[in-house]
Amino acid sequence: MPVAYTPAEIAAIVGAQRTLGHTEAKVGDIASLAAAQPGDLSFLGNAKYRSQVPASRASVLLLPPDYPGEPGPDQVFLFVDHPSVALARLCSRIEQQLWPKPPPGIHPSAVVAATARIDPTASVGPLCVVEDAATIGPGTVLDASVCVGRGARLGEGCWVMPGCLVGSYCELGRRVRLQPGVIIGSDGFGYEFVQGRHEKVPQIGIVVIGDDVEIGANSTLDRARFSRTVVGEGTKIDNLVQVAHNVVIGRHCILCAQVGISGSTTVEDYVILGGQTGVGGHITIGKGSKAGGQTGISADVPPGSYLNGTPAIPYMLERRLQILHQRLPDLFKRVEALERRAE
Amino acid sequence: MPVAYTPAEIAAIVGAQRTLGHTEAKVGDIASLAAAQPGDLSFLGNAKYRSQVPASRASVLLLPPDYPGEPGPDQVFLFVDHPSVALARLCSRIEQQLWPKPPPGIHPSAVVAATARIDPTASVGPLCVVEDAATIGPGTVLDASVCVGRGARLGEGCWVMPGCLVGSYCELGRRVRLQPGVIIGSDGFGYEFVQGRHEKVPQIGIVVIGDDVEIGANSTLDRARFSRTVVGEGTKIDNLVQVAHNVVIGRHCILCAQVGISGSTTVEDYVILGGQTGVGGHITIGKGSKAGGQTGISADVPPGSYLNGTPAIPYMLERRLQILHQRLPDLFKRVEALERRAE
Amino acid sequence: MPVAYTPAEIAAIVGAQRTLGHTEAKVGDIASLAAAQPGDLSFLGNAKYRSQVPASRASVLLLPPDYPGEPGPDQVFLFVDHPSVALARLCSRIEQQLWPKPPPGIHPSAVVAATARIDPTASVGPLCVVEDAATIGPGTVLDASVCVGRGARLGEGCWVMPGCLVGSYCELGRRVRLQPGVIIGSDGFGYEFVQGRHEKVPQIGIVVIGDDVEIGANSTLDRARFSRTVVGEGTKIDNLVQVAHNVVIGRHCILCAQVGISGSTTVEDYVILGGQTGVGGHITIGKGSKAGGQTGISADVPPGSYLNGTPAIPYMLERRLQILHQRLPDLFKRVEALERRAE
């Protein structure tokens, strides 16, 4: 962490009620109670780690008001109502320092079409390309080497990180955050098999991303065959996720890394899919459903389901079947014994 | 869809035999019969949806000649021999309008080596890099921010989308389409374990991509250790697919998203691999074989197989085993009952 | 292979002890004994292929000193102590010719901050972006279109291929090789669920990559929530791999393509994970453990384990259970027979 704070600065940022102890150290990193070294800040976010506080080597500790112990030499206790909330406040401050918002305007090395509409408060980074009639909203930031296709529309307050593509005619809402290398609007994967060859089906739809969506590094979202591929407001997508054409993802979903969703499937609001889960095409995953890692879903899922396994079945049943599966050697022996007896 | 057509324009494009009804609407989107709104075009591509036509709110409908109904007010029926074919024709027209071919020539911001040979009818987009002795064929289009390595050769009529890399000495045939972020010619993953360390094995081969191949966004194809990694004519590869060094993929295959193929494996013609399928190294998947999603293939597969599961077994057997697997709780109870009786 | 050597040149490069036969051919490719064509070089690296030598069509063959046969017409035998080592030496030479190191200096099209410190022996390729206070070590090469974020530090002798991102404040050791499209330092995937919305948890840590690490194309490594995501010295990571925030990977590990590792997990030294393996969060995989392809690991793994399956179990047990699983139809029949008898 290339920034450092005195304990007094941290006390001010987190609004500490009370301070105990003294250190000359400036805090340059954050670590768990057990891992912290001198020069680090740590925190008691969960009461079950309370016994780790006395042995922690952290220079500064965020603690709840009722914590009874005493700091070591060269150590400072800062008492706050909610250490986790206090830490988040500190981290936000650090984040702003580490990633200061670039000044508005278009970097001279960017290639921006004359017909593009860039809000004067937006920032277009070095070596970006913005094509004809694209729109970049107020306060939106394009980091280095971002491509925005013809007619694409980015709303207010978006942050598009290096190497992303927002394909032609695709739309981002407000405060959308694209991690590096995201591809929005690659062609859907559609072919017709004609006389021994796969003939391409034109993919002329778009991708529409709702407000407050975040998408992880190198994930890919295909444009619709026609109409829209949709990601609903507040949904968060991790790295290396594949979203096929005409998929409709609801609001406030969580898609963990390397999930793949096949074409024309609907994922309703508040769904959570574990890492490497695969979802077949033309199905619906009901509201609030969850799937564990590596689940394979190929049929409709009712709302509120909790699934695991391939094919996906209820999580508790899957766990029970796994246990029975591992007892198969015993079962075979028992059946053999019964057969011997029956002879 | 940022284009709009009058019903008369659409009738001309699709070659309608007959027109019925009237609307002032211009058509700006395409949707299914059930989803269509006023201002949309829809179509009856499959007779089983015939009952949905009367309730469809589409402004313009493509229908077969024998469809007996009447349009609503502010609705137009266009009668064509094959509504699906007519729709494809319309979509192709829309595609050309949405993505007009860029003019030939080299964008002034591109960095092109003096020894590169760019056909005068080719188009090199903004911020591309073309290295020494690379060849770009007639009519080939490089979108923005494409890198073409030293000595790479791209044939006629290719379309390379933003952010792709065609690595040094690699070869694309004719009409190859690379979706955004594709990496052709990363190093194969080869090491020798020597004295506790993994020593790199040089990867000096190339990747050769046949005519009419399409490769999906952010997929990666490694160069051979020596000789060639090959993708045969007409094969289509979806997003986030991994093809390792010295893999040979035949003609007219389909690799769905997130498939991974390990080194030196051969995939024969007309093979179809479902999403997230993993294929081991040094094996052969016989001609025309299919695998469902998330299959794990680690041994040779005879031609014409249809597989699923990990390890991969015949699809119908896998389905049967899945059913029996879910009946394990019952089976354990039945064996217990037999044991009690036998006591 | 766009280079060609005479047999005499090859004999000199590999230090041949003895030469037998004659050919006018220049060698332009390398192939296995069975696949080689005239103009190719082949080699007898493994005694079990000895019987393939007489029929090999290669123009030049690397053979062990005791190989007794005679070359064909227009064919040359080169005798060397270790044909595989000799081949590696030849491949290294070819590699240097195919990828000559670019001259030191900053390409005029690169955008380099005034406060960045670029060693005079480093090379910054066309259309790279190097932000404030970043450090590029001696002899390090950035290929085209690489982005290096604010305050990032790259050690000596690294090779960063086209389109990579080294995010702000992240650190690469010495001789790190990033294949094209690698993302180092995307945000970790962390949210708190507050009043029906996922609120972002700031990710202010970094990624630290040890000496001699290689990372495959389009892989993504997230920065830590705070503190560090770590990849240890000598570890090799294949394409499309996901490493989440606060993961700590030891030294000399092998992560095959499409592996995914969830947050805060520790992978100890010399671990090998097969392709598409998924690893849960907050667990430890003990030193020297191995997992086959598509394994799903969601609990701690003791050192030296060899695992497969989802959930991961010992490899030999998994293989045995797979066999019993496929005998389920028989088992059900046998239980039915017992039941009929018992009636």
Peptide bond into B64 cis (omega under 30): no
What digits encode the pLDDT tens for the residues A178-222?
A: 999 999 999 999 999 999 999 999 999 999 999 999 999 999 999
In terms of domains, do C65 and C125 share one?
no
All residues at 6 or more sequence positions from A266 whose CB lies less than 8 Å from its CB, including other chains: A247, A248, A250, A283, A284, A285
> Alpha-carbon distance B8 to B17, whole Å?
12
A183 touches chain B (CB under 8 A): yes
Please check whether residues B228 and B246 belong to one and the same domain.
Answer: yes
Q: Which of B125, B252, B294 sits opposite A196 (nearest CB)?
A: B252
Using an 8 Å Cβ cutoff, are B43 and B86 in contact? yes
CA R_g for chain B:
26
Cβ within 8 Å of B, C 252-291: 252, 254, 256-258, 275-276
pLDDT at C138 over 80: yes
Using a CB-CB cut-off of 8 Å, the residues of chain C touching A175 are none
Residue A90 lies in a domain: yes
Q: Minimal Cα distance from A335: which residue of B?
A: B335
Chain A interface disruption, residue of B85, B276, B331, B334, most A CBs within 10 A: B276
The dihedral of CA B311, C337, A322, A302: what is its sign?
positive
User: Looking at beta carbons, which residues of chain C come within 8 Å of A126?
Assistant: 111, 129
Give the pLDDT confidence score for residue A151 in this predicted structure. Answer: 97
Do B198 and C236 count as a contact with CB atoms less than 8 A apart? yes
Same domain, C302 and C257: yes
DSSP bridge pairs for A62? A43, A78
- Name the more confident of B97 and C113: C113
The answer to whether A339 faces chain C, any CB pair under 8 Å, is yes
**CA within 13 Å, CB half, A81:** 3
Q: What is the DSSP letter of B264?
A: T
Cβ neighbours of C179 in B, within 8 Å: 183, 186-187
Chain segment C27-61, per-residue pLDDT in tens: 989 999 999 999 999 999 888 999 999 999 999 99
Q: Which of residues 113-172 of A touch B (CB under 8 A)?
A: 127, 129, 131, 145, 147, 149-151, 163, 165, 167-169
B193 near A193, Cβ under 8 Å? Answer: no
Q: Indicate whether A323 belongs to any domain.
A: no
DSSP state of A108: T
What's the rounded Cα separation, in Å, for the pair B335 and C6? 73
What are the C-alpha distances in Å from C52 to residues B37, B228, B283, C41, C43?
A: 69, 21, 20, 14, 10
What is the distance in angstroms between the Cα of C194 and the nearest Cα belonging to chain B? 33
- Give the domain-ending residue among B98, B132, B157: B98
Average pLDDT of B149-159?
98
Average pLDDT over residues B138-156: 98
- What is the model's pLDDT at position C2? 66
Instruction: Kindly list the distances between the CA atom of residue B284 and the CA atoms of A60, A314, B190, B269, B303, in Å, as whole numbers in the listed order.
Output: 60, 36, 20, 11, 9
pLDDT at A2 over 80: no
Contact B94 A222 (CB under 8 A): no
pLDDT of residue B342: 85
Q: CB–CB of A183 and B217 under 8 A?
A: yes
* In a shared domain, residues B137 and B275: yes
Same domain, A71 and A109: no
Q: How many helices and strands, by DSSP H and E, does chain A display? A: 4, 38
On the question of pLDDT at B24 being above 90, the answer is: no
Tell me which of A98, A121, A137 is where a domain ends: A98
Cα three-residue angle B47-B51-B56, rounded to 5 degrees: 110
Residues of B in contact with A296 (CB under 8 A): 276, 293-294
- Burial label for C276, CB within 10 Å (0-12, 13-18, 19+), is buried
Q: How far is A151 from chain B (nearest CA, A)?
A: 8
Which pLDDT value is given to residue B2? Answer: 66
- Residues in contact with B104: Cβ distance below 8 Å, sequence separation at least 6, in sequence order: B120, B121, B122, B123
Residue A3 has pLDDT above 80, yes or no: no
DSSP 8-state secondary structure symbol assigned to residue A13? H
Q: Provide the b/e sequence for A105-114 (b: ≥16 CB within 10 Å).
A: ebbebbbbbe
**B295-302 long-range Cβ contacts below 8 angstroms, 24+ apart:** B296/C276, B296/C293, B296/C294, B298/C293
Cross-strand partners of A230: A208, A248
Assess whether A138 and A18 both reside in one domain. no
Looking at residue B44, what is its pLDDT? 94
Q: Is the ipTM of this complex over 0.90?
A: yes
pLDDT (tens digit per residue) in B36-70: 999 999 999 888 899 999 999 999 999 999 999 99
Distance CA C104, CA C113 (A): 18
Residue of B nearest to A189 (CA): B238
Q: Which of C168, C169, C186, C197 to mutate to test the interface with A (most CBs of A within 10 A)?
A: C186
Across A277-287, b (16+ Cβ under 10 Å) vs e yields bbbbbebbbbb
Compute the average pLDDT of residues B166-186: 98
The count of C-alpha atoms lying within 13 angstroms of the C-alpha of A207, restricted to the half-sphere facing its C-beta, is 27
- Determine, yes or no, domain membership for B330: no
**pLDDT digit string, tens, across residues C163-172:** 999 999 999 9
**Whether residue B94 is found in the same domain as residue B115:** no
Number of domains in chain A: 2
By the 10 Å C-beta count (0-12 exposed, 13-18 middle, 19+ buried), B214 is classed as buried
> Assign residue A139 a region: left if phi > 0, alpha if psi is -120 to 50, beta otherwise?
left
In a domain, B85, yes or no: yes
What are the tens digits of pLDDT across the range C275-301?
999 999 999 999 999 999 999 999 999
* Spatial contact of B242 and C262, defined as CB atoms under 8 Å apart: no
CB-CB contact of A115 with A39 (8 Å): no
- Is the residue at B166 inside a domain? yes
Domain that holds residue B233: 105-318
SS3 A48: helix
Which of B98, B113, B137 is the last residue in one of the domains? B98
- Residue tagged 């197989």 (tokens): B305
Contact A168, A149 (CB under 8 A): yes
Is the separation of the CB atoms in C127 and B127 below 8 Å? yes
Mean pLDDT to the nearest integer, B107-125: 98
Per-residue model confidence (pLDDT) at position A1: 59
Percent of chain B with pLDDT over 90: 91
Q: Do A334 and B329 touch (CB under 8 A)?
A: no
Contact state of C180 with B197 under an 8 Å Cβ cutoff: no
Residues A117 and A213 in one domain: yes
- For A268, the token pair is 């309703």
Q: How confident is the model at residue A80 (pLDDT cuts 50, 70, 90)?
A: very high
Residue C1 has a pLDDT of: 59
Q: Chain C: list its partners (3+ Cβ pairs within 8 Å).
A: A, B
Model-wide pTM > 0.80: yes
Angle value at C-alpha C201, between C200 and C207, nearest 5 degrees: 120
- Rounded to a whole number of angstroms, the CA Rg of chain C reads 26
User: CB–CB of B121/B137 below 8 Å?
Assistant: no
Task: Give which of B238, B259, B287, B290 to mutate to test A binding, by max A Cβ within 10 Å.
Answer: B238
Q: Distance between CA B134 and CA B115 in Å, rounded?
A: 8
Q: Which long-range CB contacts under 8 A does A126-132 form with residues at least 24 apart?
A: A126/C111, A126/C129, A127/B127, A127/B145, A127/C111, A127/C127, A127/C129, A127/C145, A129/B125, A129/B126, A129/B127, A129/B144, A129/B145, A129/B162, A131/A168, A131/B144
**Does residue B116 lie within any of the structural domains?**
yes
Q: Among residues of chain B, what percentage have pLDDT more than 70? A: 99
In this model, does residue A21 exceed pLDDT 70? yes
Look at residue C69 and give its three-state secondary structure: coil
Mean pLDDT of chain A: 95
> Does one domain contain both A45 and A168?
no
Return the number of CB contacts < 8 Å for A and C: 168
> Does residue A21 belong to any structural domain of this protein?
yes
Residue A168 sits in a domain whose CATH number is 2.160.10.10
pLDDT tens digits, A144-153: 999 999 999 9
Q: Residue A4, SS3?
A: coil
pLDDT average, residue stretch A100-107: 95
pLDDT of residue B243 exceeding 70: yes
Q: What is the CATH number of the domain that holds A83?
A: 3.40.1390.10
For residues A290 and A272, give the distance between their C-alpha atoms in angstroms, rounded to a whole number. Answer: 5
Q: Extract the tokens encoding B161.
A: 């989308």
Contact C257 B260 (CB under 8 A): yes
My answer on whether A41 and A71 are in the same domain is yes
| Residues constituting chain A | 343
pLDDT computed for residue B176 by the predictor: 98
Name the phi and psi angles at C234, rounded to 5: 75, 0
Instruction: Give the contacts of A309 (CB within 8 A, at least 6 positions apart).
Output: A292, A295, A296, A318, A321
Half-sphere exposure of B189 (CA within 13 A, CB side): 30
On average, the pLDDT of chain C sits at 95
Do C162 and C145 touch, CB atoms closer than 8 A?
yes
- Please name every residue paired with A305 in a beta bridge, in sequence order, or none if there are none: none
Residue B84, φ and ψ in degrees, nearest 5: -65, -40
User: Is residue A130 scored above 80 in pLDDT?
Assistant: yes
Which residue numbers of B are catalytic? 245
Encoded tokens for A316: 């508790």
Asked whether residue A296 is domain-assigned, the answer is yes
Q: Please report which confidence band the pLDDT of residue A121 belongs to, taking 50, 70 and 90 as the band edges.
A: very high
Q: What letter does residue A51 receive in the DSSP assignment?
A: G
Instruction: Choose the mutation target among B165, B171, B191, B241 for the interface with C, i.e. most C CBs under 10 Å.
Output: B165
Residue C341 touches partner B, C-beta closer than 8 Å: no
> Do A171 and A146 fall into the same domain?
yes
C92 and C234 share a domain? Answer: no
